[in-house]
């Protein structure tokens, strides 16, 4: 608070509010809000409470307790976004009537009164009454009187707290709050305001970090209607915005049971960068409402897309849809000249879980070719693929492969046998092999493997 009249040179606008410490700034804001006499956040929301709760995000960070804010529902979320993204706030209700200009000019003149109480009273009245005549307050902010300038700036600051100028202080606390939002009304509100915030274009700095958290909050809530609101951003002419939204939604959806339509849109994008990002996040798709559309889009990429997208589409196709053509294509890569692609293909094969189904006859045919290869690495890859399927014929073939001359191929057969879902049947087949198999190597290895299967 100013307690003395001071005359001096003109000072930079807004410097008073921004230069004071955070605790004092909060106190000033609360006093100003108390003097407003109107509620900017809806009839049921106390602006003083909102100011305290928003500042708590900065003060507590990741330890922020959002319980009170959650209790305020959608109105509370709207008030928070009004603070942090004021450009997306709905326009204030028009003031139908206000004090005459002469009355306001009289109050402005009293900002420079000799007595401190008179200056304070005039300041408070202007905060309450002059919002509809900002032009008069801006005029006062250019006064030759330092006292009048600073008090005019204080009036303006009460209407525009400028949280957005120090967003980095709020990010951790804001995310703690967003993580607790799971209801569709608030998630849709968050999505709409996020979409609006991108209208000026790609954000920068702390605003970019804040909007990434908003997108993440929508995805984390796993609500189709809310994610649908963000779908236009995947088609945004600015590639940076399209990739930001695709990657953030993909990274923050918390389960394969939820694949928003936004990611399916991204798979159909004409821009390879967007498609490549989406491919990473549809692996493990178990969303019953989207599996068919995801499968269809993946097939289009596989059949018509250029490399490397075609190769990348194989991972979800083989793991989630057991696509025969994709499996064959991945197998063929193990015989390629590109060492990096060979390693990737082998890793995909090794990491793919047993699907519990029998392989397609066409895949059997291709596996036979690779199992007969003179290159041990290709035989090992074929054994790995065989082990991702299950049937009596698969188990029998894997037992035969225990006798391969290459130790690594034989070890891969052991691993694949151990991963078969019907382990009791595998156990019976191994017991028969220990005595009846024509290969001495198979009999010996079956004998060593049997105890490990029995212990399951």
Domain contains 331: no
Q: What pLDDT band is residue 406 in, cutting at 50, 70 and 90? A: very high
Same domain for 345 and 432, yes or no, is: yes
Within 10 Å of residue 427's Cβ, how many Cβ atoms? 16
What pLDDT does 43 receive? 46
Whether 2 has a pLDDT exceeding 50, the answer reads no
What pLDDT does 92 receive? 65
Domain contains 111: yes
Cα–Cα distance for residue pair 207/378, rounded to 1 Å: 51
What pLDDT does 95 receive? 56
- Report CA dihedral (388, 381, 322, 393) to the nearest 10 degrees: -50
Cα–Cα distance for residue pair 219/221, rounded to 1 Å: 5
> How many structural domains is the chain composed of?
3
What pLDDT does 44 receive? 57
Same domain for 418 and 360, yes or no, is: yes
Whether 165 has a pLDDT exceeding 50, the answer reads yes
Q: What pLDDT band is residue 413 in, cutting at 50, 70 and 90? A: very high
Same domain for 243 and 158, yes or no, is: no
12-35 burial, b for 16+ CB within 10 Å, e for fewer? ebeebbeeeeeeebbebbbbbbeb
Whether 116 has a pLDDT exceeding 70, the answer reads yes
Q: What pLDDT band is residue 118 in, cutting at 50, 70 and 90? A: very high
Q: Mean pLDDT, to the nearest integer, of 411-437?
A: 92
End-to-end CA distance of the chain: 75
What pLDDT does 131 receive? 79
Domain contains 115: yes
Q: Which of 434, 435, 374, 430 is nearest to 404 (CA)?
A: 374
Q: Which of 153, 129, 132 is nearest to 141 (CA)?
A: 153
Whether 320 has a pLDDT exceeding 60, the answer reads yes
Q: What is the pLDDT of residues 22-60, one digit of tens each?
A: 444 444 444 444 443 334 444 457 676 788 888 899 999
The region of weakest confidence among 19-33, 195-209, 375-389 is 19-33
Q: Mean pLDDT, to the nearest integer, of 325-346?
A: 89
Same domain for 304 and 362, yes or no, is: no
The larger pLDDT score, comparing residue 96 to residue 369, is at 369
Domain contains 176: no
Same domain for 307 and 361, yes or no, is: no
Q: What pLDDT band is residue 18 in, cutting at 50, 70 and 90? A: very low
Within 10 Å of residue 194's Cβ, how many Cβ atoms? 25
Domain contains 173: no
Q: Environment class of residue 128 by beta-carbon count within 10 Å: exposed (0-12), middle (13-18) or buried (19+)?
A: middle
CATH number at residue 227: 1.25.10
Domain contains 5: no
Q: Mean pLDDT, to the nearest integer, of 149-175?
A: 81
Same domain for 312 and 389, yes or no, is: no
Helix (H, G, I), strand (E, B) or coil at 329: helix
Using omega within 30 degrees of 0 as the cis cutoff, is the peptide bond preceding 381 cis?
no
Final residue before a domain boundary, out of 164, 193, 209: 164
**pTM, full prediction:** 0.76
Domain contains 41: yes
The larger pLDDT score, comparing residue 239 to residue 336, is at 239
17 within 8 A of 154, measured Cβ to Cβ: yes
Final residue before a domain boundary, out of 130, 164, 198: 164
Within 10 Å of residue 277's Cβ, how many Cβ atoms? 24
Q: Which of 45, 60, 51, 13 is nearest to 29 (CA)?
A: 51
The larger pLDDT score, comparing residue 51 to residue 417, is at 417
Which domain range does residue 394 map to? 338-456
Domain contains 35: yes
Same domain for 135 and 223, yes or no, is: no
Same domain for 346 and 438, yes or no, is: yes
Same domain for 40 and 155, yes or no, is: yes
119 within 8 A of 125, measured Cβ to Cβ: no
What pLDDT does 384 receive? 94
DSSP track, 226-293: HHHHTHHHHT-SSHHHHHHHHHHHHHH---TT---HHHHHHHT-SSHHHHHHHHHHSTT---TTTHHH
Q: What pLDDT band is residue 17 in, cutting at 50, 70 and 90? A: very low
What pLDDT does 160 receive? 65
Same domain for 235 and 119, yes or no, is: no
Same domain for 155 and 199, yes or no, is: no
What pLDDT does 162 receive? 59
Whether 453 has a pLDDT exceeding 50, the answer reads yes
Final residue before a domain boundary, out of 321, 351, 379: 321
Q: What is the pLDDT of residues 356-374, one digit of tens each?
A: 999 999 999 999 999 999 9
Within 10 Å of residue 220's Cβ, how many Cβ atoms? 21
Q: What is the pLDDT of residues 272-294, one digit of tens each?
A: 999 999 999 999 999 999 999 99
What is the residue whose two structure tokens read 């130790």?
407
The larger pLDDT score, comparing residue 157 to residue 395, is at 395
Q: Mean pLDDT, to the nearest integer, of 65-75?
A: 95
Q: What is the DSSP letter of 114?
A: S
Cα–Cα distance for residue pair 404/398, rounded to 1 Å: 10
Same domain for 342 and 441, yes or no, is: yes
State percent of the chain over pLDDT 70: 86
State percent of the chain over pLDDT 90: 70
CATH number at residue 358: 1.25.10.10
């Amino acid at each position: 608070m100013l307690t003395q009249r001071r005359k001096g040179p003109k000072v930079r606008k807004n410097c008073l509010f921004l230069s004071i410490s955070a605790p004092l700034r909060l106190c000033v804001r609360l006093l100003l809000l108390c003097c407003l006499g109107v509620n900017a956040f809806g009839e049921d929301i106390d602006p003083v409470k909102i100011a305290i709760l928003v500042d708590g995000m900065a003060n507590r960070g990741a330890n922020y307790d959002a319980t009170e804010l959650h209790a305020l529902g959608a109105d509370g979320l709207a008030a928070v976004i009004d603070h942090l993204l004021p450009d997306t706030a709905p326009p204030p209700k028009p003031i139908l009537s206000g004090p005459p200009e002469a009355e306001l000019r009289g109050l402005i003149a009293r900002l420079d009164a000799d007595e401190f109480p008179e200056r304070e009273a005039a300041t408070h009245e202007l905060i309450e009454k002059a919002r509809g005549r900002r032009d008069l307050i801006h005029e006062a902010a250019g006064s030759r009187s330092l006292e009048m300038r600073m008090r005019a700036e204080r009036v303006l600051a009460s209407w525009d707290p400028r949280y957005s100028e120090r967003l980095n202080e709020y990010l951790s606390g804001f995310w703690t709050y967003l993580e607790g939002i799971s209801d569709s009304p608030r998630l849709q509100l968050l999505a709409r305001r996020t979409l609006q915030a991108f209208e000026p274009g790609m954000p920068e700095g702390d605003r970019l970090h804040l909007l990434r958290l908003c997108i993440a909050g929508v995805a984390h809530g796993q609500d189709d209607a809310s994610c649908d609101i963000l779908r236009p951003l995947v088609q945004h002419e600015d590639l940076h915005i399209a990739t930001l939204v695709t990657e953030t939604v993909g990274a923050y959806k918390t389960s394969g049971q939820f694949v928003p339509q936004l990611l399916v849109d991204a798979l159909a994008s004409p821009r390879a960068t967007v498609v490549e990002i989406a491919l990473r996040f549809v692996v493990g798709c178990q969303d019953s409402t989207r599996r068919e559309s995801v499968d269809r889009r993946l097939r289009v990429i596989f059949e018509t897309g250029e490399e490397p997208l075609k190769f990348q589409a194989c991972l979800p196709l083989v793991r989630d849809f057991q696509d025969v053509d994709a499996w064959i294509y991945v197998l063929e890569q193990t015989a390629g000249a590109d060492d990096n692609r060979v390693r990737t293909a082998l890793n995909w094969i090794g990491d793919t879980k047993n699907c519990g189904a029998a392989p397609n006859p066409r895949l059997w045919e291709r596996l036979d070719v690779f199992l007969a290869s003179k290159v041990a690495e290709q035989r090992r890859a074929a054994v790995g693929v065989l082990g991702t399927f299950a049937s009596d014929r698969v188990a029998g073939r894997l037992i035969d492969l225990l006798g391969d001359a290459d130790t690594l191929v034989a070890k891969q057969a052991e691993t694949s046998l151990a991963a078969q879902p019907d382990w009791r049947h595998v156990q019976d087949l191994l017991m028969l092999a220990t005595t009846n198999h024509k290969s001495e190597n198979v009999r010996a290895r079956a004998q060593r493997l049997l105890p490990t299967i029995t212990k399951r």
